[in-house]
Amino acid sequence: MPYTVAHCGMRAAAATGERVVASPFAKKLAEEKGIDLGAVTGTGPEGRITAEDVEAAAAGGTAPAPAYVSKMVTATPSAKKLAKSKGLKLEDIKGTGNFGRIMPNDVLIAAGEAPVVKKDPTAAPPAVTPAAAGGDKKAAAPAAPAPSGTTPMNAMQKAVVKNMAWSLDVPTYQVSRAITTDELDDLYKQVKAKGVTMSALLAKATAMALAKHPIMNANYVTDGIQYNPDINVAMAVAMPDGGLITPVLQKADQTDLYSLSRTWKDLVPRALEGKLKPDEFSTGTFTISNLGMFGVSTFVSILPPGQGAIMAVAASTPTAVLQKNGMIGMVKQMTVTLTCDHRHIYGADAAKFLVDLANIIENETMSLLM
């Protein structure tokens, strides 16, 4: 991002103590380490002070050098038009053209979209193999035949069918919320090298929120509500030969993040091999279905038997938002969607749960390490 006059004013304000813009995580970290934020130079968007800036200041005794280099922003006319249509500022986009000029694909990447790949009109047509020309058929491997007719389902697929049929008799509804993941992403970068997985982070944050809302961890029984003593977070995993299974992170609210990650790394390969014990996939009290790795923007999950709610987690993508200072800024957000059993979980219950989950992910990420 270029170093503009606006950024300069932000840095000067941070340096003189007039106005400090810092992430909640950075503020908490600075307080713990006794760092004066007024003396720290922010390297985040719009000069925002991040946790890395505080760590650097604590390690070196001084604030890190400015991350921005003064330069004029140039862009092609089509890139300018595209950026305007997507609500992006050219100053927030990294150019890959000559002398840093911003190209249309740079805008698409900044918006979290796939760049356009143009075909080379001068490229030679694909070579015709002997098999394609009617010659030696052994020269090229034959394409896999397309499925046809009726293929019997395996045991796992049949179990999924049975479970989904059960959900048709349950009155359910959905509630969605966008959650900013900048702080969670920062924490993940710090603990990834220690073996922590994003799945464990999501499970831990969800379990902590469930601890504040027992009704979300409960399930309906005939004319009653069964409150579960443990918070066991199940996470859906697709099987290679069809169907899905939900390995369970038991007592996720009471288990530390590193132990959860080790358990998850043990469960997944055994799940794919069909070697899980019954209590390792059938004791979940709340389920997470995460399709974020596939770039899915939003989706709805079907409620599994014996549970009151399931949460669908979509991809975290760059999003333009109106900040508290009145300026438009870029953050990363993911949409989570709850599917709830309306017989005992009401809309307000789901909404309050999402409020606390968002607060943990956006403002209290340090609590995930406790």
- Of 1 and 48, the structure prediction assigns the larger pLDDT to 48
121-135, 142-156, 328-342: range with highest mean pLDDT:
328-342
- pLDDT surpasses 50 at 226: yes
Closest CA to 7 of 46, 50, 41, 35: 46
45-54, 112-121, 173-182: range with highest mean pLDDT:
173-182
Asked if residue 321 lies in contact with residue 331, where contact means CB atoms within 8 angstroms, the answer is: yes
- pLDDT surpasses 50 at 68: no
Q: How far apart are CA 222 and CA 127, in angstroms?
A: 67
pLDDT band per the 50, 70, 90 thresholds, residue 53: confident
Least confident of 239-248, 254-263, 326-335: 239-248
Give the model's pLDDT for residue 19: 60
Counting every residue written for the chain, the total comes to: 370
Tell me the average pLDDT of the chain. Answer: 83
13-22, 95-104, 303-312: range with highest mean pLDDT:
303-312
Per cent of the chain over pLDDT 90 is 48
Least confident of 1-10, 72-81, 270-279: 1-10
- pLDDT surpasses 50 at 13: no
Give the model's pLDDT for residue 45: 67
Q: Which residues of 269-281 are buried (b: 16+ CB within 10 A; e: fewer)?
A: eebbeeebeeebb
213 a catalytic residue: no
| Over residues 103-118, mean pLDDT | 78
pLDDT band per the 50, 70, 90 thresholds, residue 118: low
- pLDDT surpasses 60 at 185: yes
Give the model's pLDDT for residue 113: 77
Least confident of 122-131, 212-221, 300-309: 122-131
Q: Which two tokens stand for residue 178?
A: 């966008």
- pLDDT surpasses 50 at 60: yes
Asked if residue 168 lies in contact with residue 339, where contact means CB atoms within 8 angstroms, the answer is: no
Give the model's pLDDT for residue 117: 66
**pLDDT digit string, tens, across residues 285-295:** 999 999 999 99
Active-site pick, 7, 213, 342, 344: 342
Least confident of 92-96, 144-148, 180-184, 226-230: 144-148
| Over residues 155-169, mean pLDDT | 81
Per cent of the chain over pLDDT 70 is 83
Q: How far apart are CA 165 and CA 73, in angstroms?
A: 57
Q: How far apart are CA 48 and CA 10, in angstroms?
A: 8
| Over residues 328-344, mean pLDDT | 96
Domains and CATH numbers, the chain: 5-60 (4.10.320.10), 77-110 (4.10.320.10), 157-369 (3.30.559.10)
Which amino acid, residue 281?
F
- pLDDT surpasses 90 at 132: no
pLDDT band per the 50, 70, 90 thresholds, residue 61: low
Strand partners, 180: 333
